[in-house]
Chains A and B, each alone.
Chain A
Amino acid sequence: MSKKFLSLVIAVFFIAVLLTYLSGDYESLANQLWNLIPPFFAAVCGVFAVRVYSMNNPHAKAIAFMALGVFFWFLGDFIWFIFEFFLNKNPFPSIADYFYLLAYPLLLLGLIVELKSNKLAWTAKKIAVGSILSLLLGIIVIYLGMIKAYNPADSALDNAIAMAYGIGDLVLIIFTMAILMVVVGYRKGKLFYPWIFILAGFLLILTADVLFAIYREQYENFLGISRNIDLGWISGFLFIAFGFFNIGNAVKEARNKLLEND
């Protein structure tokens, strides 16, 4: 599959989702199926990138952990879907949350392995910029995703799970900003934009998570902002899919070119 073809598939898919979401029967089973495709697709694109590097490679390990994390998010979405449409039970809290929450350590592990596999010198400027961005986004996540997510009317378990997402997002934000500093070093290289897409994907997903924590009741009843939250998650996963695919593609092209020269 070429880069242009994948871009076209993603664009068509996203427009189809948008049109569906703007239509009246947003909460129908068929329309909610859309939500399951992007995380699964992102995990598949991750596997493609891992195969290009081959599993022993540190970058491959990093992407494998991230792809596995994204796959766990897909499993969470799938279980959520089953609870909502086949068991007619409220999916929050449920076993789906275990999978959503288990994704965080895997994603973190991926980001840490990626950080360690890069030999970029950490200048004072990079540390300062990374810390300031982490702090700013961290404050937003703590306030909106944790403090505002607390609802005294809910049970302690409901609140603990809702806030656990905030903690996961907070740690993910810090490491995402650290990776951003590494990715800035890829400027003028073919790996720059794919990594930017992955990081932008994470930020979109984290934004949707924070909105979900605030507007959980609206989301569960398909009201108000719920479509935008779903769009945030869907576009986030599509960004990650595009990033993973393009990392694999860029490495494959560069490898072929290098070997041809030899």
Chain B
Amino acid sequence: MNNEEKYPENKKSLLDEACKIVYLNYGDQAAQLYKAGLKDKAEKEILSSLEKSLKELVGPEHAEEQLREMREKLSK
């Protein structure tokens, strides 16, 4: 089973980890608003919009490093 297939079982963890990334890169207020807006989102949607936005802000190298770390945490 790859990581993406595992996400549905771990939506809470995914939300927490995604919010940590938003907090680190976009600030505290953004993380709170982001978390509130995620409740009804599908896991893939959460990841793809975050990945796109993060790549635009910090560039592919930093974005991939942070997302890789997140996926590692979620797969544990």
Q: Is the CB of A118 within 8 A of B26?
A: no
Q: How far is the CB of A192 from chain B (nearest CB, A)?
A: 6
Contact residues of B: prevailing secondary structure: helix
Contact count band on B: 20 to 34
Q: Is the CB of B28 within 8 A of A259?
A: no
Of B37, B53, B55, B59, most A-chain CB atoms within 10 Å = B59
Residue in contact with B66 in the complex, picked from A53, A119, A191, CB distance below 8 Å: A119
Q: Is the CB of B50 within 8 A of A258?
A: yes
Q: How far is the CB of A244 from chain B (nearest CB, A)?
A: 15
Tell me the bound Cα distance from A53 to B57 in angstroms: 13
Q: Is the CB of B61 within 8 A of A187?
A: yes
Contact count band on A: 20 to 34
Closest residue to A187 on the B side, CB-wise? B59
Residue in contact with B65 in the complex, picked from A58, A121, A187, A258, CB distance below 8 Å: A121
- Binary CB contact string for chain A from 156 to 191 against chain B (1 if under 8 A, 0 otherwise): 000000000000000000000000000001111111
- Binary CB contact string for chain A from 103 to 119 against chain B (1 if under 8 A, 0 otherwise): 00000000000000111
The 4 A-B pairs of least Cβ separation, nearest first, read: A189-B59, A262-B37, A54-B28, A53-B27
- Listed in ascending order, the chain B residues whose CB lies under 8 Å from chain A are 22-30, 33-34, 37-38, 41, 49-50, 53, 55-63, 65-66, 69
- Listed in ascending order, the chain A residues whose CB lies under 8 Å from chain B are 52-54, 56-60, 117-121, 185-192, 250-251, 254-255, 257-259, 261-262
In the complex, besides A117-B24, A261-B49, A261-B53, 13 extra interface pairs with C-beta distance below 8 angstroms are A52-B27, A56-B28, A120-B61, A186-B58, A187-B60, A189-B56, A189-B57, A191-B58, A251-B25, A251-B26, A251-B27, A258-B49, A258-B53
